[in-house]
Amino acid sequence: MHRLLGFEYKTPFIQKKNVPGCDKQADSDLPHPVINVGMIYPDGPVRNIIVRKSAIDSRNKGNIRLIYAVDVNFTGEDEWLDSADAIPGRKEVIVRHRIRKSEEYQYNIPVVCRPALQHRPVIAGSGPAGLFAALVLARAGLNPLILERGSKVEKRVKDVESFFATGKLDTSSNVQFGEGGAGTFSDGKLYSLINDHRTRFLFEEFVKAGAPEEILWDAKPHIGTDRLRSVVINLRKEIEALGGTFRFDTILTNFRHTDNILRCIELNTSEELELSNLVLAIGHSARDTFEMLFEKG
């Protein structure tokens, strides 16, 4: 497998809605994902193509184009890449390109021996970090317990709508706190500050849960607010089906340890839970939890 970078598909009608300078052509008319082998190397040994990334280059408003990064399989690839045919010079299709070896990455959840843990792992927070931590732990057979100070999506939507209508704020169930985290009430754009192939696992799980398939290759992936809510619900249902448990409207208020080993946490319900593994996925707005952790040193 080889990664072909900078494959530029030139066509005068490549347009997308809301792109400056574009006044025609609906998204459905874009050539992707139907990129065939003949587009790149009509007489070459390419067997199949997997699109990994696409982006619109609209810097020249009169010549808008799509830029792709694609993985390709070659017949006799090493010999062919060493030959002059590796640069076909098809200027009408490929303006520039770079080729490199590409190894397919697949994240495999480690097999865990359940009796090795005395207590089920606990996760504080059900934003993106908490949900994916819970998903991985649930698939490993560890039956995680997820604590969330806010409400589940269904109730949270009603609480937020009530706030917008009346101004009455529920300090635990609002646009910041609740299932899915703050992103549940954003516009569903997915940004990452890292260029790491392992993030594809996250996008694939989003798609399995109902997100649009385009986020797997779009340079600016976008789920959409309404769709994101159903994705969060579907992730919760899978985690529960695998043995995980969610407790909403439940706040981590304190913890105890001896000899630097975590022993117990306290909840706002006056309960105490014995545990040995705690994942803090508390986002950036749980100030009371930050203060408690700071005071604990």
What are the backbone angles phi and psi of residue 66, rounded to the nearest 5°?
-100, 135
- Mapped onto helix, strand or coil, the DSSP state of residue 153 is helix
Cα angle value 105/110/112 (rounded, 5°): 175
Query: In the chain, where are the structural domains located?
Result: 3-15+28-102, 122-296
The length of the chain, given as a count of residues: 297
The DSSP symbol for 109 reads P
Locate 68 and state its tokens.
């792709």
Please state, rounded to an integer, the average pLDDT across all residues of the chain.
77
May I ask the CATH class of domain 3-15+28-102?
A: alpha beta
Between 102 and 90, the more confident residue is 102
What are the backbone angles phi and psi of residue 207, rounded to the nearest 5°?
-65, -45
Give the tens place of pLDDT for each residue, 12-33: 444 444 433 333 333 434 444 4
The CATH classification number of 122-296 equals 3.50.50.60
Give the tens place of pLDDT for each residue, 36-52: 444 555 455 556 667 77
What is the pLDDT confidence band of residue 107, given thresholds at 50, 70 and 90?
A: confident
- Give the pTM: 0.76
Determine if residue 76 is left, alpha or beta; phi over 0 gives left, psi from -120 to 50 gives alpha, anything else beta: left
Give the tens place of pLDDT for each residue, 238-247: 999 999 999 9
What is the pLDDT confidence band of residue 156, given thresholds at 50, 70 and 90?
A: very high
Do 156 and 256 form a contact (C-beta atoms < 8 A)?
no
pLDDT at 102: 66
